[in-house]
A and B are shown apart, each in its own frame.
Chain A
Amino acid sequence: MVLVEHLSFEYPGRRALDDVSFGIEPGNITALVGPNGAGKSTLLRCMAGLERPLEGRVLIDGLDVGEQPREVHRRIGYLSDFFGLYESMTVRQCLFYAADSQLVEESQLGERVYQTALDVGLSDRMDARARELSRGMRQRLAIGQAIIHSPKLLLLDEPASGLDPEARHSLSELLKALRARGMTLMVSSHILAELEEYCTDMLILREGRVMEHRPAVDAEHAQTRVRISLSRPDPALRAQLEGMASLRVIETDASTALIAIDRDPHAMEEVLKRLVEGRLPVCSFAEEQSNLQDAYMATVRAADGRGRA
């Protein structure tokens, strides 16, 4: 769906993207993560054809963004982190214009406006002006404008910033629903916990370079991670765990341990059983979500380690 090849972009005095290359399969939701200034927004703007890169090219659905920007725009939706709305227009008018300017069939305009308003939960605010909407509703209207022409690829730059928890939850539900319809999404965000709810891939950018592009849950993560806590320290914990072939010890001390184990209830039952039989004072045995935050931090730490070496 997306193929980015050797993309470089510079701002005066600073290289924002440096030989960035990656590909995205159709139907994926890719989390674009990285620290401030990593080049996330620039990458999304280059992919949307809003910025002209110094070198390299972006292919979307087989079309070169640089060569055929208007054709590409019919296939993508883009929400900027600092988006704007026509403040004096109503929700209905904003959506109608978005559909009209994306050359949606005239006969389908009304239906598409209504359906999109339903999708983003604004069907009861159709006649409200954009300036009268709350932050969350404005965000939903902006997303509605970006998806009204049913793009194949949706690029979202910090879509959840400034949203309350309820609005964030409805946003993640919406993104999952869009993916279920076959849309490919790329979402940049600082809030990794929320990306975890719906992302299938993670692309880590740092200083304009791709540090890692991997599935959010990889083969290694077919296993789950379990945190074991003891009610009092027991030095035998490490030895007990290391003696079990069905698990891998990630970290441990005398009171707690983090292990990786197959996602099989029977395997987990067996481990717990052996710990109890070994007279270890187990007070907690809980599955711990392997999250993007961990994966991201592991990648960053590994890169930092390589840098120091």
Chain B
Amino acid sequence: MRLNPEFRRNLTLEINLHRLVALPIVLFLACSLAYILAHEGGGLNVAGWTAFWLFAACAIVGGTQLACASMLDEMREKTWDSQRLSALSPWTLAWGKLFGSTVLAWYGGAVCLLIFVVSRLVDFNGSPPEIPVIVLCLAVPGAAVLMHAVGMLACLLIPRSGQRNTSNVIALSLFALFAGWPLGTGLMNHNPVFWWGVSWNAPWFSVISCWLFAAWAVTGLYRRLFVELQVRTVPVVWIGWAAFLSIYLAGFAVGQFGSGMTAGAALASGGFVVTLCMTYVSAWVEKRDAITVRRLLLRYRNGEWRRTLEEMPCWLATAPLVLLFSLYLSMRSGGLSLPGMMAEHMTSAMALVAALMALRDIALLHYFSFSRNARNVEMTAIIYLLVLYWILPAICSAVGLEMVSHLLLPYQSGSLTFALVVSITQLGIVGWMAHRRWREHISAVGGA
């Protein structure tokens, strides 16, 4: 059987005799130091836990840094094109990179894990850990795979105009680490988790969740490589991810609110929140210049349906779902309050308003993206959105112009009809502006 060429290349780069010998010695010495410094009687226990935290540090922190650096190095050293031109499939490239670039971190982690497990087996007198050893041994690799994949995915999603330099490695590594944080805290939770009305052991629930999310992150990386390698694909996995996340989050809502929340309502609420967030975030991350839109419209006008789906940006694939969920929630009587800060101002009846305002923001983002001298598009859009969502309403409220403030933040008005009219008008105006700028752009390059 042929070894994955990308994995083999990474092995060549990352592993040598010196590292193979030195790394275990250094890690063993660190654990030995912990054993010596520990109080009498508890040395083995302390050494074991030192090994565990070193395992987590090697596999999670070190691995995420290596994974991000490997992707960014490809971009910086201009070797990414040669990889894109290879005959390797997206899957071969995905797992070759994911496990190849982090092989040293896994090696160091495995050494620490071995010390940890041995210390737990030998230390008969030590108090049993609050979390079963097997749970810990399964959680860390799951979290590591999740964060490595998220880190690599983030590297690929940096806009082409963005700087793919070393400082990004740190930023992206931190981003990837924070992505796994909520699951990590679940491990420390002693209370059972109620999910879909069933009580689950929290650490085991976290471990299973961690591996499920890791699988999705690897799938996301794999699908992103389809795009990078110019292999055409329709956004089914994106929709699948939205469905999974909706069901996953809805399970907590059913568990949390038990009696009052039906499965349908939970799914609708979960679906709305998930698709809204996914649509919004992907619109910021994806390529959205005038050419991308033009290419999509050309396919559509030519009746090339499969190509239209292939060219469709992910945000556009989930946007109809946002509208559907928001319509459903808005029409439901005796509506459900959305969780968190939004609940203060918005009931489910306002879900449609929230969806329309999100689409307005996306239209604004496109308006700036269609500029002929588009630079720092995201930053420009953020500044305008801060003005629209925060500065202007605050000024208006301060000087007593509540009506103007409601025009900017329609869901604060308390009237669904008013909020709908205002949000549709805002979407219409910004959408028209974006369309006009797009037309100007197309005429400038001599297109139809």
Taking beta carbons and an 8 Å cutoff, which residues of A are in contact with B?
10-15, 18, 48-50, 52, 54-55, 66-67, 69-70, 73-74, 76, 78, 80, 82-89, 93, 97-98, 100-103, 106, 145, 149
Q: Is the CB of B229 within 8 A of A70?
A: yes
Q: Is the CB of B86 within 8 A of A10?
A: no
Q: How far is the CA of A13 from the CA of B290 in the complex (A)?
A: 9
**Among B174-182, B291-299, B314-322, which stretch is in contact with chain A?**
B291-299
Q: Is the CB of B82 within 8 A of A145?
A: yes
Q: Which of A13, A98, A102 contacts B372 (CB under 8 A)?
A: A13
Q: How far is the CA of A48 from the CA of B83 in the complex (A)?
A: 12
Q: How far is the CA of A76 from the CA of B9 in the complex (A)?
A: 22
Q: How far is the CA of A83 from the CA of B445 in the complex (A)?
A: 29
Q: Closest A residue to B290 by CB, please name it.
A: A12
Q: Which of B78, B87, B372 contacts A74 (CB under 8 A)?
A: B87
Known A10-B294, A73-B85, A101-B9; 19 more pairs at CB < 8 Å: A10-B291, A12-B290, A12-B291, A12-B441, A14-B445, A15-B445, A15-B447, A50-B81, A54-B291, A70-B231, A74-B87, A76-B85, A84-B79, A86-B79, A88-B13, A98-B82, A101-B83, A102-B87, A149-B87
Q: Is the CB of B87 within 8 A of A13?
A: no
Tell me the chain B residues, 204-240 only, with Cβ under 8 Å from chain A. 229-232
Give, as a whole number of angstroms, the nearest-CB distance from B413 to chain A: 39
Residues of B near A97 (CB, < 8 A) are 5, 8-9, 12
Q: Is the CB of B79 within 8 A of A85?
A: yes
Residues of A near B229 (CB, < 8 A) are 69-70
Q: How far is the CA of A12 from the CA of B89 in the complex (A)?
A: 30
Q: Is the CB of A12 within 8 A of B372?
A: yes
**Could you name 23 residue pairs across A and B whose Cβ atoms are closer than 8 Å?**
A10-B445, A12-B372, A13-B445, A15-B447, A49-B230, A50-B84, A50-B85, A52-B295, A66-B230, A66-B232, A69-B230, A70-B87, A70-B231, A74-B87, A78-B81, A84-B77, A84-B78, A89-B9, A97-B5, A98-B82, A101-B83, A101-B86, A103-B88
Residues of A near B289 (CB, < 8 A) are 12
B446 contacts the other chain (CB 8 A): yes
Q: How far is the CA of A231 from the CA of B298 in the complex (A)?
A: 66
Give, as a whole number of angstroms, the nearest-CB distance from A68 to chain B: 9
Q: How far is the CA of A97 from the CA of B79 in the complex (A)?
A: 12
Q: Is the CB of B81 within 8 A of A10?
A: no
Q: Closest B residue to A104 by CB, please name it.
A: B87
Q: Closest A residue to B370 by CB, please name it.
A: A12
Give, as a whole number of angstroms, the nearest-CB distance from A139 to chain B: 14
Residues of B near A82 (CB, < 8 A) are 78
Q: Closest B residue to A88 by CB, please name it.
A: B13
Residues of A near B13 (CB, < 8 A) are 86, 88-89
Give, as a whole number of angstroms, the nearest-CB distance from A83 to chain B: 6
B2 contacts the other chain (CB 8 A): yes
Residues of B near A87 (CB, < 8 A) are 77
Tell me the chain B residues, 7-55 only, with Cβ under 8 Å from chain A. 8-9, 12-13
Known contacts A80-B78, A82-B78, A86-B79, A70 near B291 by CB under 8 Å: no
Known contacts A11-B291, A73-B87, A100 near B445 by CB under 8 Å: no
Q: Is the CB of B447 within 8 A of A10?
A: yes
Taking beta carbons and an 8 Å cutoff, which residues of B are in contact with A?
2, 5-6, 8-9, 12-13, 77-89, 229-232, 289-291, 294-295, 298, 372-374, 441, 444-447
Residues of B near A89 (CB, < 8 A) are 9, 12-13
Interface of A is mostly: loop
4 residue pairs, one from A and one from B, having the closest CB atoms: A84-B78, A101-B86, A100-B5, A84-B79
Q: Is the CB of B445 within 8 A of A101?
A: no
Residues of A near B82 (CB, < 8 A) are 83-84, 98, 145
Give, as a whole number of angstroms, the nearest-CB distance from B15 to chain A: 13
Q: How far is the CA of A93 from the CA of B14 in the complex (A)?
A: 13
Q: Is the CB of A101 within 8 A of B232?
A: no
Known contacts A52-B230, A101-B6, A13 near B441 by CB under 8 Å: yes
Residues of B near A98 (CB, < 8 A) are 82
Residues of B near A48 (CB, < 8 A) are 85
Q: How far is the CA of A13 from the CA of B437 in the complex (A)?
A: 12
Q: How far is the CA of A13 from the CA of B375 in the complex (A)?
A: 13
Q: How far is the CA of A88 from the CA of B70 in the complex (A)?
A: 13
Candidate in B77, B87, B229 with the most chain A CB atoms within 10 angstroms: B87
Give, as a whole number of angstroms, the nearest-CB distance from B445 to chain A: 5
Q: Is the CB of A106 within 8 A of B85?
A: no
Residues of A near B232 (CB, < 8 A) are 66-67
Q: Is the CB of B78 within 8 A of A83?
A: yes
Q: How far is the CA of A78 from the CA of B77 in the complex (A)?
A: 17
Q: Is the CB of A54 within 8 A of B85?
A: no
Give, as a whole number of angstroms, the nearest-CB distance from B294 to chain A: 7
Residues of A near B87 (CB, < 8 A) are 70, 73-74, 101-103, 149
Give, as a whole number of angstroms, the nearest-CB distance from A103 to chain B: 5
Q: Is the CB of A86 within 8 A of B77?
A: yes
Q: How far is the CA of A83 from the CA of B2 in the complex (A)?
A: 28
Residues of A near B447 (CB, < 8 A) are 10, 15
Residues of A near B295 (CB, < 8 A) are 52, 54
Residues of A near B372 (CB, < 8 A) are 12-13
Give, as a whole number of angstroms, the nearest-CB distance from B171 to chain A: 23
Q: Closest A residue to B299 by CB, please name it.
A: A55
Q: Closest A residue to B374 by CB, please name it.
A: A12
Candidate in B77, B85, B231 with the most chain A CB atoms within 10 angstroms: B85
Residues of A near B298 (CB, < 8 A) are 54-55
Q: How far is the CA of A55 from the CA of B294 in the complex (A)?
A: 10
Residues of B near A100 (CB, < 8 A) are 5, 8-9
Give, as a whole number of angstroms, the nearest-CB distance from A65 to chain B: 8
Give, as a whole number of angstroms, the nearest-CB distance from A291 to chain B: 32
Known contacts A66-B232, A93-B12, A102 near B86 by CB under 8 Å: yes
Give, as a whole number of angstroms, the nearest-CB distance from B94 to chain A: 14
Q: How far is the CA of A243 from the CA of B78 in the complex (A)?
A: 61
Candidate in B6, B80, B82, B291 with the most chain A CB atoms within 10 angstroms: B82
